[in-house]
Amino acid sequence: MSASAPGACTVRSCGEFPLSALPVDAPRQAAPGANDVQGAADPGGRCAWLEWPLPEVPAAGRAAAIGLHIYDEAIVYPCVGSRARMVPAGSHPLILSLFGWHCGESLVSLGKYGKLWWTSVLTRTELDQVFEGLAATRDDLDARRDVLERATHMFLHRNALGGQMIARFCETSEADPVLEDFNDLLGAALSAARMAQESGQKRGDALVDAIGAAVDLAAGQGRLESFHRLHLARSWAQNGLSPPVALELSEMADNSATHAHPPDPEALEELFRDLVAQADGDALALHTALTEMFPAMPPALRDAVVEFAVARPDPIFAQLGCYWLVNPAATIRGAAARGFAARLDAGVLSGETTARLTVLRSWMPQDEALDGVDQILRDALRTGLGQAKADTGWKVETAFASLPDGSGAQSIAIALASGTAHAIAMVLLKTGHGVKDAYVIPCDSARDQMTLLDRMTEETGALNVPMDYISAAVAQALGDGLTNGIPPAPGLIDVAAWCGLSTLRPDAKDTAELLTGLSVNADVSASSAQKRGRLINASADWGARHHLLRYWHDESDDVREVLAAAHGARAADRALWTWLETRRAWWAHQIARCAAVLDATGDPDTKIFVATAMALLDGHALKKIPIMAAIHEQTIEAWVLDDPDLPVGAGLGEFIELAEQEEPAPEGDGELSTLLDGTDMTADWIDGYLMSVVIAPKMIAPNRWLPHILEHAAAGLDPADLQRFLDIVMMRANSAIATADGQSDFEADMTQRGSGGVREWASGFHASRESFVSSWPKKSLAPTDQAILRQITEARSRGLPAPGIRIVGQWLSARHAMNLQGT
């Protein structure tokens, strides 16, 4: 990797093995015995997938992958068992060409090049390191957390590892001790993917899809046992993700498909007795156990189980039904409501449950389930069923709340006591998602409780706040979630009961309403412009006093695309300021939420936060708001450091050190021409191609242009030379940038090429323009630009005289300067 390169590319050690050529009509299943290749076509008639038997793979390639790994894009597919499946990726024409698949054609022979690349070192080494780390940290939770954090960082950048993980998981037995490691790794990977999705990053979707596709493939090959499905289902359920249909247990699916009636009541009674015993009478533990089984159940069976359970007379099942009333799935909420109606009809709906339903109805989205609960409450009132408030016996000792982080997440911890017993209630709030998580942790002692609180406050910088603030913050989060159709985490029911928040109702507030409710709002509003300006300028010191704010930045794919499309540092700087204008409301709201926490503690910084939030709402220039300048800087730094080869949490120093360590050796005289022997490319053609990429009005990312060069070169390259070829291409891309910047003599360079080399250079330049027409929009080209481009096109056959070379050189520098200025 080069710090100055427009991108990076790494291809690990590769081997090769021959495969039989595919028949031209292979979109349909090939005849058995011919070459044992199966395939399917997509609706457009193109190849949708191919599957073939693998030759014997060396032991080192036990977790092999088919494909090529380019520019952090995992164009690799997991091998499960003795067969491999590959799906052509439309965004990667390289794959289609390397393996004989061409866009727009049904299929051509895979034997065009006669071989596929396969990589085993890439994924096996990394996965082995992860599992070795997990095996060594089974008794060290902190060290294990570090291993999982590094692994999920790697998975998000190389989603093919998710498929490799599933392939290995299929090899385990039910008593295998490594199952614990698989469970933790899969859970952490899906959690990281979910958080990436919530942050607007497509890599989260890509990782979930890669893992899901591997599960589907393994299920189709009959490699998933029932215990595999249950373990996988648990991980999906714990992360609130929609599970692959392949996780449904076949016996359950068959039962659901062939029986219209609910499952056998006696069998369910036995199941519930066992689960209640395993949960030791804890309703939330019972809820967790059942919810983790749901992905293995067909939807109709799952809903029948929910309704049956809630209707059972034991009080624990009424509590279980309350949890399901705030389930994200509308059908589960509806089944729970029907179960409560059955409890009322059977005369086993208690006054305590009725009182709880009165509160819970306000936590539910508006749908049929809510209508059902309202009808139950009306019917209960008509029958004279009263409401009774339960006293849990727990008292609040103290409470802490963090400031929200850059993603809008805020942590809350409440210390509880009941006699000599101690516990901590934990709540996680997140803008746009409401109450993300909530649960109660029993503590062995007051010291244990204090240790947990100290750790939480140290990690998040949480402040001691009154319960009035907690109640208001959770109510606002409830309203925020329901605005987006998201009910709260079920554990909030217990937290509210234990903390005396029995009347908690949703209370969504926009930024202006949030500021209006703060004690210092009137004072700041009445301040002079000069005083408010001083308050705003004081936001420069926030990071020193509130460490969580040091890491505020934007991390969505949208902002990454804005930065990636910019030509140079100055253009990226301007583009990001323009982007941040679209984020005023978001950051104003996070700053107002911070102000609410500080106001509750009487912190003198409250006025600074209020004034800054007001400035954002009033359209104050972003560049004149210090905290926004810090967010701008930290966003660029996070983008630069978004590298899977860097340690988690690495800074710019580590980035520069890594770049220097991986700097390739300088290109030798004639080295590229030697590598290109046997191909139809020349070094001059590549230079022209790269120059066109560099000066295109709209930036062309390396993961777009590099496959085009490889497409032309791969057939004649020795696999052992592939990495060196890529290194030289990236170095020449840097040289093209230097030439466009005026740091080298374009005229002298072109003269040394000779007439034939100039024609090749012009051919490469033209080929690049033709490949990326959208990066050369006509509205960006002045008449002078168009004239020079015509001259270069004609030079493919006529060459360029000395005056013409001089003019083209001057134009290249001028065009590049315009790109850097964003004009």
The amino acid at residue 15 is G
Residue 573 CA from chain centroid, whole number: 25
What are the distances in angstroms from CA 763 to CA 43, 97, 143, 672, 769?
36, 21, 56, 18, 10
Q: With H, G, I as helix, E, B as strand and everything else as coil, classify residue 428.
A: strand
689 with 790, same domain? yes
Report, as an integer, the average pLDDT of 762-790: 92
Closest CA relative to residue 64, chosen from 145, 132, 127, 152? 127
Q: Are residues 19 and 138 in the same domain?
A: no
Spacing of C-alpha 481 from chain mean position:
20
Higher-pLDDT residue of 106, 559: 559
pLDDT grade, residue 125 (50/70/90)?
A: low
pLDDT value at position 418? 94
Residue 549 Cα distances to 403, 583, 608, 631, angstroms? 8, 17, 14, 9
Question: Is residue 792, in this structure, part of any structural domain at all?
Answer: yes
Domain assignment of residue 655, yes or no? no
Contact 22, 109 (CB under 8 A): yes
Phi-psi region of 387 (alpha: psi -120 to 50; beta: other; left: phi over 0): beta
CA distance 298 to 306: 13
Q: Is 409 left (phi over 0), alpha (psi -120 to 50) or beta?
A: beta
Dist CA 560 CA 157 (whole Å): 14
Helix or strand (DSSP H, E) at 316: helix 315-325
**Predicted local confidence at residue 81, as pLDDT:** 38
Residue count (the chain):
823
Amino acid letter, 695: I
DSSP H helices in 405-466: 446-460
pLDDT tens digit sequence for 500-525: 998 899 999 999 999 999 999 999 99
Residue 226 has pLDDT above 90, yes or no: no
Token pair listed for 360: 């819970």
Q: What is the mean pLDDT of residues 171-179?
A: 88
Lowest mean pLDDT segment, chosen from 6-20, 281-295, 655-669, 753-767: 6-20
More confident residue, 664 or 123: 664
Q: How confident is the model at residue 85 (pLDDT cuts 50, 70, 90)?
A: very low
In angstroms, the Cα distances linking 665 to 1, 11, 662, 671, 731 are 12, 16, 9, 12, 10
Phi-psi region of 500 (alpha: psi -120 to 50; beta: other; left: phi over 0): left
Q: Do 676 and 812 belong together in one domain?
A: yes
pLDDT at 393 over 90: no
> Which residues, 6+ apart, have CB-to-CB distance to 693 below 8 Å?
700, 705, 733, 736, 768, 772
Sign of CA dihedral 796, 797, 799, 805: negative
Measured CA distances, 208 to 157, 187, 196, 486 (Å): 12, 11, 10, 21
- Integer Cα distance of 608 and 529 in angstroms: 13
- One domain for residues 683 and 621: no
Quick check: 29 pLDDT over 70?
A: no
Last residue of a domain, one of 488, 508, 528: 508
Lowest mean pLDDT among 226-230, 253-257, 730-734: 253-257
CA distances from 546 to 297, 460, 511, 598 (A): 47, 9, 21, 11
Residue 285 CA to residue 304 CA, distance in Å, equals: 20
Checking if the pLDDT of 776 tops 50, the result is: yes
Q: Average of pLDDT values for 418-434?
A: 95
Average pLDDT, the chain: 80
Residues 608 and 539 sit within 8 Å (Cβ to Cβ): yes
CATH number at 771 reads 1.20.120
Which residues have CB under 8 Å from 143's CB, separation 6+?
136, 137
pLDDT digits (tens, 9 = 90+) for 509-567: 999 999 999 999 999 999 999 999 999 999 988 888 888 888 899 988 899 888 877 77
- Identify any residues that bridge with 438 across adjacent strands, giving them in sequence order: 427
- Predicted confidence at residue 654, as pLDDT, reads 53
Residue 142: inside a domain: yes
> How confident is the model over 380-392, as pLDDT tens digits?
988 887 676 767 7
Domain tally, the chain:
6
CA distance linking residue 814 with residue 823, whole number of Å = 11
Domain boundary, last residue among 99, 119, 139: 119
3-state DSSP call for residue 317?
helix
- Model confidence at 90: pLDDT above 70: no
Domain that holds residue 185: 124-247
Amino acid 256: pLDDT = 46
Q: Give the pLDDT confidence of 308-333 residue by residue, as tens digits.
A: 999 999 999 999 999 999 999 999 99
- On whether both 458 and 557 belong to a single domain, the answer is no
Q: What percent of the chain has pLDDT over 90?
A: 48
Instruction: Answer yes or no: is 664 within a domain.
Output: no
Residue 14 has pLDDT above 50, yes or no: no
Check pLDDT > 70 for residue 96. Answer: no
Is residue 338 in some structural domain? Answer: yes
Tell me, what's the pLDDT at 388? 67
pLDDT computed for residue 35 by the predictor: 39
Confidence label for 576 from pLDDT (cuts 50, 70 and 90):
very high
Residue 103 lies in a domain: yes
Name the residue with higher pLDDT: 494 or 48: 494
3-state helix vs strand vs coil in the chain, percent to 5: 60, 10, 30
- pLDDT band at 47; cut points 50, 70, 90: very low
The pLDDT value given to residue 823 = 59
Element (H, E) at 443: strand 434-443
How many other CB atoms are found less than 10 A from the CB of residue 780? Answer: 15
Tell me how far apart the alpha carbons of residues 585 and 605 are, in angstroms, rounded to a whole number: 21
Q: Could you tell me if 500 and 549 lie in one domain?
A: no
Which of residues 646 and 122 earns the better pLDDT score? 646
Amino acid identity at 404? P
The pLDDT assigned to 354 comes to 93
In a domain? residue 8: no
More confident residue, 189 or 256: 189
Q: Give the pLDDT of residue 547.
A: 82
Give the Cα separation of 552 and 542 in Å (integer): 11
Q: 678 and 815 in one domain?
A: yes
Same domain? 243 vs 355: no
For the stretch 147-161, what's the b/e string if a residue is b when 16 or more beta carbons lie within 10 angstroms of its beta carbon? bbebbbbbbbbbbbb
Span 783-798, average pLDDT: 94
Residues 414 and 490 in one domain: yes
Q: Which helix (H) or strand (E) holds 57?
A: none
Least confident of 103-107, 446-450, 657-661: 103-107
Percent with pLDDT over 70 in the chain: 78
The one-character DSSP state at 556 is S
Q: What is the pLDDT of residue 220?
A: 82
Does residue 226 share a domain with residue 178?
yes
pLDDT of residue 643: 66
Give the pLDDT mean for 779-785.
Answer: 90
C-alpha to C-alpha distances, 680 to 79, 269, 689, 769, nearest whole angstrom: 33, 73, 14, 19
In a domain, 1, yes or no: no
Tokens 């080192």 locate to 60
Domain boundary pick from 595, 611, 645: 645
pLDDT band at 33 (very low <50, low <70, confident <90, very high): very low
Residue pLDDT, tens place only, 676-695: 887 888 999 999 999 999 99
Residues 497 and 525 in one domain: no
With b meaning 16 or more CB within 10 Å and e meaning fewer, what string describes 195-210? bbbbbebebbebbbbb
| Dist. CA 265–CA 59, nearest whole Å | 50
Question: What are the residues facing 119 on neighbouring strands?
Answer: 65
Confidence band of 6 (pLDDT split at 50, 70, 90): very low
Determine contact, residues 424/440, Cβ cutoff 8 Å: yes
144 and 231 belong to one structural domain: yes
Output the pLDDT for position 720.
Answer: 67
Q: Which of 399, 400, 401, 402 is nearest to 551 (CA)?
A: 402
pLDDT at 518: 96
